[in-house]
Amino acid sequence: MKARVFSGVQPTGNLHIGNYLGALKNWVEIQGNYESIFGIVDLHAVTVYQEPAELRAKILETAALFLAAGIDPKHSTIVVQSSVPEHAELAWMLTCVTPVGWLERMTQYKAKSQAQETVGDGLLQYPVLMTADILVYQAAVVPVGEDQAQHLELARDIAQRFNSLYGETFVMPGTSLPLAGARVMGLDDPTKKMSKSAAGSGHAIGLSDAPEVARKKIMRATTDSQPAVDFENLSPGVLNLIEISKAFMGWGSQQANAEFSGLRYGDLKKKVADIVVSHLEPMQKRYAEIMNEPGYLTGVLKEGAERVSPIAKSTVQLVKERMGLYA
């Protein structure tokens, strides 16, 4: 029997090449080796306010992007988190075994709560819900970008604590990071992770950015005052452009060295832009075709929920039995 994989993306903002290289690309590559479940985690999205009509549209757009990126419903299940209520049910049970101190230590919570006037409880609980997303399917592997590694450690701590309190119940989930692209940085500020919620039109390359828009952003990316690429002395901005190319092309360090060493920054950027655009264009073409077939999309999501519901139900039933709950 194949081991199970779970990972998800929030249907917020515009998905960018960081989301693609850190998560989606890896999902596509491994989907055939595992029983793969990929979630559109809308319950996570509402930890900060979302305009309801916009959120509903984003859920379908995110599903279409999964398919356009190469997730194949024959190999993988695509599921919207809120259509399987056991995610939220298990999250409550896990909340009850999670010390608040563990959650307050999460770097993402600290960063996001600083930006809010009032901090919703959901923002603190976010990693518990993420733990439930994984454990409800007894997933053994979770392919994510580097920013989620701390949440994954927490998920293992919560699973371990539950298992030691109530007996072996959960499979211990392992983290799978991509070889390149695990942490794509902002083009305008390469010391910060590329992020959907960051302000600034030159920060992220959206998966739906038109070729000329993506090119312009790359040509304006922050580099340094050196004239050309020197692998002995790479500043964060130049390193980021090289890492993006390596991740798209599957190049190792030697090949990247051969491609870019000594290139003037203008030529480096042109080459990076060609690489990025050549990968975005076919994805965007498939995306447009999928969005023109809304019945197909909703069918994939309906089938997805039906396929994975029995797994989630049986995990929650087991947890209830372990905890002595009456159901």
Instruction: Tell whether residue 31 is a contact of ligand AQP (CB under 6 A).
Output: no
Stretch 196-215 residues interacting with ligand AQP (CB under 6 A): 196-197
Q: What are phi and psi of 78, to 5 degrees?
A: -105, 125
Instruction: Tell whether residue 12 is a contact of ligand AQP (CB under 6 A).
Output: yes
Which window, 139-147, 164-172, 284-292, 314-322, contacts ligand AQP (CB under 6 A)?
139-147
Which CB atom, from 50 or from 163, has the smaller least distance to ligand AQP? 50
- Residue 59: closest CA among 10, 127, 17, 94: 10
Instruction: Give least dist CB 1 to ligand AQP, A.
Output: 25
Q: Residue with CB nearest ligand AQP?
A: 22
Contacting ligand AQP (CB under 6 A), which of 184, 187, 276, 319? 184
Contacting ligand AQP (CB under 6 A), which of 78, 90, 124, 194? 194
Instruction: Give least dist CB 147 to ligand AQP, A.
Output: 5
Asked if residue 44 lies in contact with residue 10, where contact means CB atoms within 8 angstroms, the answer is: yes
Asked about 110 being catalytic, the answer comes back as no
Instruction: Tell whether residue 148 is a contact of ligand AQP (CB under 6 A).
Output: yes
Which CB atom, from 150 or from 257, has the smaller least distance to ligand AQP? 150
C-alpha to C-alpha distances, 28 to 19, 67, 82, 311, 312, nearest whole angstrom = 13, 10, 23, 22, 23
Contacting ligand AQP (CB under 6 A), which of 4, 58, 87, 183? 183
Angle at 119 between CA 122 and CA 52, to 5 degrees: 60
Asked if residue 219 lies in contact with residue 205, where contact means CB atoms within 8 angstroms, the answer is: no
- 58, 193, 217, 269: the active-site residue: 193
| Greatest distance between any 2 Cα atoms in the chain | 70
Asked if residue 26 lies in contact with residue 143, where contact means CB atoms within 8 angstroms, the answer is: yes
Q: Which tokens belong to 205?
A: 């390359």
Instruction: Tell whether residue 62 is a contact of ligand AQP (CB under 6 A).
Output: no
Which residues on neighbouring strands pair with residue 38, listed in sequence order? 7, 78
Asked about 2 being catalytic, the answer comes back as no
Which window, 145-153, 207-215, 292-300, 312-320, contacts ligand AQP (CB under 6 A)?
145-153
Instruction: Tell whether residue 286 is a contact of ligand AQP (CB under 6 A).
Output: no
Which residues on neighbouring strands pair with residue 142, listed in sequence order? 175
Which residues on neighbouring strands pair with residue 267, listed in sequence order? none
Instruction: Tell whether residue 147 is a contact of ligand AQP (CB under 6 A).
Output: yes
Instruction: Give least dist CB 148 to ligand AQP, A.
Output: 4
Asked if residue 23 lies in contact with residue 181, where contact means CB atoms within 8 angstroms, the answer is: no
Instruction: Tell whether residue 253 is a contact of ligand AQP (CB under 6 A).
Output: no
Instruction: Give least dist CB 19 to ligand AQP, A.
Output: 4
Count interface residues toward ligand AQP (CB under 6 A): 22
Q: Which tokens belong to 226?
A: 């050196």
Instruction: Tell whether residue 193 is a contact of ligand AQP (CB under 6 A).
Output: yes
Instruction: Tell whether residue 177 is a contact of ligand AQP (CB under 6 A).
Output: no
Asked about 112 being catalytic, the answer comes back as yes
Instruction: Tell whether residue 80 is a contact of ligand AQP (CB under 6 A).
Output: no
Contacting ligand AQP (CB under 6 A), which of 4, 5, 6, 23? 23
Residues that bind ligand AQP (CB under 6 A): 9-10, 12-13, 18-19, 21-23, 144-145, 147-148, 181-184, 193-197
Q: Which of the residues are catalytic? A: 112, 193, 196
